[in-house]
Amino acid sequence: MSAPPKSPTRRAILRLSRDRGAMTALAVLALMTLACLVGPLLTGHAPARTYPDLRQLPPGLAAQPDADRLRPTLDRLAFRIRATVAEAERTGDTLRLVLASDATIDPRGLVYLPRSDLFGAPRVVASEDDGRRLTVAVPVRRLHFLLGTDVHGRDLLSRSLVAGRVSLLIGLTATLVALGVGILYGAVSGFAGGAVDAAMMRVVDILYALPFVFFVIVLVVFFRASLALILVAIGAVEWLDMARIVRAQTLALRRRDFVRAAEALGLSSAAILRRHIVPNTLGPVTVAATLLVPRVILLESFLSFLGLGVQEPATSWGVLIAEGARSLESAPHMLAGPAAFLVATLVALNVLGDGLAAALDPRAEA
């Protein structure tokens, strides 16, 4: 067991790779990102495509339309063709449909069938009773909606995945904004020390006391909500913690010998910050950033839930959850699907953050 001493980063990575929970979380996050990026191409439905005849379908593996949904649609279409459905028998992908009426059925009326999303082009097989009884062969489409459909008949899986792109993007970008501002502010404050530090931290203290979420709401309500504004608003709110962490680290670091040596060698303050201070604060900052992403995603979905965040036609998990909550009684699956995506992502991020914190803890054993 006497391997050569490894760098702290290597040891942290090693510890993290032994943490089963954190590794599972990492895998979940990788899968989620991959699914959101390429998934919408594989579901077979464009996220905005509506199927008016297949609204609020429950989730399931079976091909749609199934027998229960076929008949009402057929009856409705037959009414428009001015006939009634005498027989309907499905064999595989084709439906043998017998239409009956008191008058001659105009075969041109059959164009209503392919218009309904569920059927292909019909073919008249036989015409009896002077055209009052029409036998038609229609191909039935086979559509799969793993998570069901929403109130407009849109595929929820595609919608959830596309929404995930927006939620994850906001989570990452707003965190990066907060990270950039926080690191810069904290490092400068801690490195400058003295009166500058005191003044800069006083500003942070004042900002801490602000009811920030209320501010974000005021911002997005009064200036039409846009993706950029939400990003800026959330990023501007969440940098405070980061600034405090970085400042505390910097204060400790600047008394260390290697920083004093760099100073003595005539390195400029900016160079010391860049080369020696900031890289050494990255451990705790990584942990804080990992835990910040779920908070940002939560904040965005909170805004979207209130109808103040991402606006149609763009969508995010918060938007979908809000839609689901509105049609809770008729279609609870509309809440369950997107909520599961959101919760899985948040749990994974929190678990990963905890794992990172444990792995980077300098007091931990190898």
Partner 1 sequence: MTGYVLRRLLQAIPTLFVVIALSFFLMRLAPGGPFDLERPLAPAAMDNLRRVYGLDQPLAVQFGRYLAALVRGDLGPSFSFRDMSVADLFARGLPVSMILGGLALAVSLALGVGLGAWAAYRRGGWVDRLVGAAASLGLSVPGFVVAPLLQIAFGLSLRWLPVSGWEGGAPSHLILPVITLALPQAGGIARLTRASMAEALRAQHVRTMRSLGLPPWRIARHALRGALLPVVAILGPLSASLLTGSVVVETIFGLPGIGRYFVEGALNRDYTLVMGTVVLVAVLVVVLNLVADLVSAWLDPRLRLHA
Residues binding partner 1 (CB under 8 A) = 205-206, 208-211, 213-215, 217-219, 221-223, 294, 298, 301-302, 305-306, 308, 318, 321-322, 324-325, 328-329, 332, 335, 339, 342-343, 346-347, 350-351, 354
Nearer to partner 1, 292 or 335 (CB): 335
In angstroms, the CA 312 to CA 320 distance is: 11
| 233, two tokens | 């608003």
Residue 175: CB minimum distance to partner 1, A: 16
In angstroms and rounded to an integer, the radius of gyration of the C-alpha atoms of the chain is 30
Task: Between 172 and 344, name the residue whose CB sits nearer to partner 1.
Answer: 344
Nearer to partner 1, 162 or 346 (CB): 346
Q: CB nearer to partner 1: give 206 or 264.
A: 206
Measured from the CB atom, is 194 or 211 closer to partner 1? 211
Distance CA 259, CA 252 (A): 11
| Complete edge-to-edge strand list for the sheet that includes strand 94-100 | 84-91, 94-100, 133-139, 123-128
Query: Which residues, 6+ apart, have CB-to-CB distance to 64 below 8 Å?
Result: 54, 57, 142, 143, 144, 145
> Measured from the CB of residue 349, what is the shortest distance to partner 1 in angstroms?
8
Q: Smallest distance from the beta carbon of 205 to partner 1, in angstroms?
A: 8
Which is closer to partner 1, CB of 105 or CB of 319? 319
Nearer to partner 1, 189 or 345 (CB): 345
Q: How far is the CB of 217 from partner 1 (least distance, A)?
A: 6
The distance of closest approach from Cβ of residue 40 to partner 1 in the complex, given in angstroms and rounded to an integer, is 23
Q: How far is the CB of 41 from partner 1 (least distance, A)?
A: 28
Report yes or no: 119 and 65 within 8 Å, Cβ to Cβ: no
Three-state secondary structure of 266-290: CCCHHHHHHHHHHHHHHHHHHHHHH
3-state secondary structure of 97: strand
Q: Are 247 and 197 in contact (CB under 8 A)?
A: yes
CB of 221 to partner 1, least distance (A): 4
135's CB contacts (< 8 A; 6+ apart) are 96, 97, 98, 99, 124, 125, 126, 127, 128
Cβ density class 328-351: b for 16+ within 10 Å, e for less: eeebebbbbbbbebbeebbebbbb
Per-residue CA distances from 352 to 15, 27, 213, 241, 287 (Å): 13, 10, 26, 19, 9
Instruction: Compute CA 135 distance to the chain's CA centroid, rounded to the nearest angstrom.
Output: 48
Residue 179 CB, shortest distance to partner 1, in Å, is: 20
Between 180 and 307, name the residue whose CB sits nearer to partner 1: 307
